[in-house]
Structure 1
Amino acid sequence: MKNILIVLITLFSANVWAQDSKIKVITEEIPNRLAFYAVNENEEDLDVMITIEGTNFRQSKARPRLIRVPGISKVHLKTIMLLRGKTPQYTYDLVVNDSLSKRAVKKEATAIKIKPKKNITVYVPSMCNQCDSLLQSLADGKYLYQMHKLDENVEMKNQLNRSFANTMQLDSLETPIINLGGKLFTKINNYDDLITKLEFED
C-alpha cells in the first residue's frame, strides 16, 4: 500500500506543479491520514483553495475555503482519513489567487528556503573570523546554500588554491571564500554584501 501511495503522491504533486507554478502541493503521511500542504516559493502572498475527490478515504464535509499562504512558506491545507486496508484513489483541484481575500483563512505558516538565482557555496578557512556571523545569517535567511570547512576537505582546499593560482594563503584568510554562481569572492564580509552580490546582474 505504501509504495502505491507514494506513486500517487508523486504523480498528483507533479500535475499540480505543472498547472500552476506559483504553488506546489506536497503530501505528508501520518498514521491513518494524509496531510496536504501548499508550498509557496514566491515572494508574494497567495490565497489557495483545494478540493479533493476520490475513494477509500474520508474527509470533512465542510465547504472548501481559501487559505492564505504567505510568501516563501508552507501551510497546511487539508487532511484526509485513510480507510484501513484500502489504497486511496484521489484527484484534487487547486485554485490559486494573487488577489487576496479578507475572508481567507489564516493558518500557521512554516518558513521555507528557496533556491537563489545563483547557487551559494561558502568555504570556511581555519582562521575565518567573519564566518560565524555570515553563516548564522544564511541559516536564518530564505536561501538554500552549501557550506564546506576547508580543514575537513583537503582536496577541496587544493582545488581552491589552484583556482587562485596559488596567489594567496587560504589558511590566513579571515573572511570566507564564497562561490556565487561559479564566481569566487574573498571580500564579502557580511550577509548584506552577499545579497548585493547575489542580486547583481552580470
Structure 2
Amino acid sequence: MKKTLYTFILLISYTLVAQEKPVRLVEEILKKRTILYVQNDTDSEKSVFLKVNPTGYRKSAQRPIIKKIPAKSKSQMLILIPLTDVESSYTYNLIVNDELETMQVDRSKGPKKEAPVSSIMRAEHIVFTKKDCKKCELLISKLQAKYIKFREVNIDTKNRYRDYLWELLDKDGYNKSMVAAPLGIISGKLYYPIDNLDGFVELASNKPK
C-alpha cells in the first residue's frame, strides 16, 4: 500500500513538473515577505516584461520591470511585503519576448489563469511623443501634475510600441508619414488627434469600471 501511494505521488509530481513553462514566474514565500523570480530553463537568454498589481501588500502599485534572464538561471524581480491582518493576493502580466501571459495568484485558491491579453497596450496608458514637441511636453506635464501613471514612447525611435501604433493607424486609414504628436492609448483605445489635452487627461484619470 505504501509503495503504491509513493508511486502515485511521484507520478503527480512528475506530471506537474512536465507541465511547467520553460520561462515562468516563481515565488519564494518567507515569513515577512514574498520574493518573485523569473526562472528561465531554456538554452538561450530571454527578455521578459513583468507588471505586478498587488493587493494587501505595502505597495499597491508597481512599475513594470523589464529584464534579461540568462539561460538556465533564476533572476530576482521583486520583493512584496504583506500588510498585517490583511488578505494578500496579486495579479501579474508576464511577457516573454512578444508573448503575454496574464495570471492571478490568490493565497486561498492558488494560481488561476485568466483570459490572455493580446498586448500590454491594453493594461497601461501610453503617450506617444516626438522630440522638440511643445504640445507633447505640455501633455506630459499635465499628466504628471495629476499623478497619472503612463508610459511615454518616442515615435522617432524604433520599438515594439511604435510598431503597434503604426498598425493601429493603418487600420484606421491614417498615413503614418503625416502623423503629428502627441498620440495616446487608454485601455487599448487609440486617441488621435489629441486636440483637447485637458480632455485626454480627464479620460486617463478615470479608473476603468
* Same fold flag (TM > 0.5): no
Q: Relative contact order (alpha carbons < 8 A, sep ≥ 6): 1 or 2 greater?
A: 1
TM-score interval, normalised by the smaller of the two chains: 0.3 to 0.5
TM-score of the pair, normalised by structure 1:
0.39
TM-score of the pair, normalised by structure 2:
0.38
